[in-house]
Amino acid sequence: MAQAVLNRDGDARDNSELFDALWLEAETRIIVLHRGRTLIQNGHLQLLNTEQATAGKYRVYLGRTTLALGDQVEGTAIVLSVLTDNAAKAIEPNETNWHELRKSGSGLHPRDAALFTQALAIHNWHETHQHCPNCGAITVMQQGGWSRLCVSEDRQLFPRTDAAVIVSITDDADRLLLGTQGSWDQNRWSILAGFVEAAESLEAAVIREMKEESGLLVTNPVYIGSQAWPYPYSLMLGFTAQVDSSNTPESIKPDGVEIAKLRWFTRAELKAEAKNILLPAKISIARSMIEHWLGEEIVSATEISG
């Protein structure tokens, strides 16, 4: 599960001259986003200095690094700059150097993947909250990019996080249930997941979602960890659960909409077939939950995201 790689430095957000102050620090580094993509070189985010990243649509202060890495000292301020098409072209005209997290995240250092995730999630929120959800008036950015203000009602809006549960279901023989989504290539397998509904507990969401997608009643949901997933600004909450004794593992019935096929895997089967099937990307919580059940890392030629 992803560890915090930045001190988010919330106190600094109230400084009305925050970005001027950060631009005076020679060490400040900028992660640039252009249409949800960023610059990656040799498996690392290409962070720019304040002279390289001048004009942007808007900026968000992400925080300060908690570790020294490469040429960056501990405590380096990291700022997200969201670029216009022209600004992006001026910085890097070659389109192939702009990368999506979904496609390139697996090759990234975990710290960089976490930074990219944070930048993308807050960017996705700003892009979709230019207007107040209550009255429709224009909103403006505040607090270093961590809130927006409805100018008509003086209403403060905060970044959203959509909770989703992701569940590794096992049976009495300790087999793991994997499914393929209807929209996926039929050879892509992952554990099941779904969004938490309004006023629903996480445990209730696990039981409802698993029943909907697999036809199985599961029991004993136990939380094991979480991971931010910036599509668009989700938090994946990982649970284990078991098949309830009121039904059998064989009573699985894919919903036919979200889940096209379901299958129980023994550890030996998954290891034997790992090279021929597509599994979730290494940076995903789904992959780490599957490997947690398996008890070892999976060596797989092909990966998927999500």
Q: What residue ranges bind Zn ion (CB under 5 A)?
A: 132, 134-135, 137, 150, 152-153
- Closest approach, Cβ 35 to Zn ion, in A, equals 28
Q: Report how far residue 228's alpha carbon sits from residue 82's, in angstroms, rounded to the nearest whole number.
A: 20
Residue whose C-beta lies closest to Zn ion: 132
Do β-strands 192-195 and 162-170 pair in parallel, antiparallel, or remain unpaired?
antiparallel
* Residue 260 CA, distance from chain mean position: 24
Instruction: Give me the sign of the Cα torsion angle 97, 103, 107, 110.
Output: positive
CB closer to Zn ion out of 49 and 130: 130
- Which tokens hold the place of 151? 């100018």
Nearest to Zn ion of 139, 305 (CB atom): 139
Nearer to Zn ion, 153 or 172 (CB): 153
- Least Å from the CB of residue 132 to Zn ion: 3
248 contacts 215 by C-beta, under 8 angstroms: no
Give the span between the Cα atoms of 151 and 156, in whole angstroms: 9
Looking from the CA of 137 toward its CB, the CA atoms found within 13 Å total 13
> Residue 55 or residue 137: which is nearer to Zn ion going by CB?
137
CA distance 206 to 197: 11
What minimum distance in Å lies between the beta carbon of 199 and Zn ion?
Answer: 24
To Zn ion, the closest distance from the beta carbon of 16 in angstroms equals 22
- Return the number of the residue (35 or 131) whose C-beta is nearest Zn ion: 131
Which is closer to Zn ion, CB of 67 or CB of 135? 135
Give the separation between CA 124 and CA 127, rounded to whole angstroms.
5
Q: Which residue has the tokens 């380096």?
A: 76
CB of 153 to Zn ion, least distance (A): 4
- Lookup result for tokens 């090279």: 275
Residue 58 CB, nearest approach to Zn ion (Å): 19
